[in-house]
Chains A and B, each alone.
Chain A
């Protein structure tokens, strides 16, 4: 598995952070090495027919009824809103002209 600088920068964009060219270069090289090393171990024939372990939790996942049990807390929800929010709304940069 070969990861180049461009792929690192794409992935950085997906998580909405920037990474300088020189750092992306180093990361690409290191990550390629790590993936190559891991790839060999994760291709172990031992893993065939082994189920993936998603969580240590062994009870049925709790599913509750789709009923409103909470809410009407506009003030609390907006309390930590960044600057620009009103009593009713969050504010973000304009998205349409």
Chain B
């Protein structure tokens, strides 16, 4: 038999449907691959026993004619999603012993659709970073060059997808954490509109920015994974009641006559495949529109203030009293202090300290609220752009993955690392990165069009 891990998720779905192989067989193939490539450190926790049990149950359901849309498909879950009975760490020492008693809504929906859980993937600690170097469990290596980082924060998921250690994976975005590693690992990443996917059970970093999404080896793979994850959930107060479109049906490869806006601020630096992609898309019948998004430059600053302020609040809950790692102290305060000092890594501690300033009276009035006002202007840039075009098109991350050594010395702070990604996180619009590193950004709730265009972009290689 051919190596089942070479199939895309979509091919795996079809192979299982046609009974060419069983879920147990394809799950075993992925578990073998995970063992062979353990040196990449893509997973924090592998769950072979759970996977084989879920695969056997899946095969039984299929035999009974009760197959879901992802029936029997082996997937990896970013370790920011709480999984019942499976350790969930957020790549932090403070949660290194935490086994949730509940399941995130989005992962529950994947299991309901028949997916199989291979394990939990590495990330920067509490998803704060773009390289996985802040993980308590060590850095993940980029499968295309093991001296380099996979990007982040969903770097473990991206590496696992790129190295065929899973058929597809979940990720989360706060400032670009799905598209960034997708670009670095040459795979596809998609984050839907804020409010499409429930945040219930996803460990919070910055609540007004956090968005669950997916990483796969093609746009079609991403469409199949995201479909069951989306939709209203009463457990999340910012979950949308809007009807969820059929994402697969939107993938008709016909983008003739569509208007693709190219923001001039997003083309200051472009990769080598940019010009050929423009030519290819032109031959597909699109029209390009020049777009000006004058507040793009401010996105990094707005993100800095808002994400740190919100993170400080969200991370207050980790006190060693009720769950997670505790470091003893003579008094309650001393216990809190010791626990948080030993439990959090330096990057997380630093962000909390500075976030405290932005939530203090002075910092709030002089910085946090003005940053929220600037966020409005950034959103207005998008509103105006979408009056002139159907989607925005640009490179995602126009630089090559940096080495692990460079990452340790602050390479991720370079401006081209995430300045094409952050504005769309601040505004909540849907966005995806194709497996050739080019991105498509859409109107609020127009998730299907993003994937439709992204699929054609992916054909341009």
Q: Give A contacts to B, CB under 8 Å.
A: 1, 3, 8, 11-12, 14-19, 27, 31, 34-35, 38-39, 41-44, 46-47, 50-59, 61-64, 73, 76-77, 79-83, 90, 92-93, 95
Top-6 shortest CB links A-B: A56-B428, A52-B372, A80-B323, A42-B370, A82-B326, A76-B101
Nearest to B346 among chain A residues (CB) is A23
Is B330's beta carbon under 8 Å from chain A? yes
Residues in chain A near residue B234, CB distance under 8 A: 62, 64
Given A15-B356, A79-B101, also A42-B374 (CB < 8 A): yes
Counting chain A CB atoms within 10 Å of each CB, which of B98, B324, B354 scores highest?
B354
Total chain B interface residues with beta-carbon distance under 8 A: 71
A57 touches B238 (CB 8 A): yes
B305 touches A53 (CB 8 A): no
Counting chain B CB atoms within 10 Å of each CB, which of A8, A43, A56, A83 scores highest?
A56
Residues in chain A near residue B286, CB distance under 8 A: none
A61 touches B370 (CB 8 A): no
Is B455's beta carbon under 8 Å from chain A? no
Counting chain B CB atoms within 10 Å of each CB, which of A8, A38, A76 scores highest?
A38
Is B10's beta carbon under 8 Å from chain A? no
Give complex CA distance A73, B101 in Å: 10
Nearest to B352 among chain A residues (CB) is A15
| 22 intermolecular pairs with C-beta atoms under 8 Å apart | A11-B353, A11-B354, A15-B355, A16-B333, A38-B305, A41-B374, A47-B373, A47-B377, A51-B373, A52-B372, A53-B373, A56-B379, A56-B429, A56-B444, A57-B238, A64-B234, A80-B324, A82-B323, A82-B324, A92-B332, A93-B331, A95-B331
Residues in chain B near residue A8, CB distance under 8 A: 353
Nearest to A34 among chain B residues (CB) is B304
Give complex CA distance A77, B101 in Å: 8
Residues in chain A near residue B341, CB distance under 8 A: 17-18
From B240, B336, B366, B371, give the contact of A1 (CB < 8 A): B366
Counting chain B CB atoms within 10 Å of each CB, which of A44, A46, A80 scores highest?
A80
B301 touches A59 (CB 8 A): no
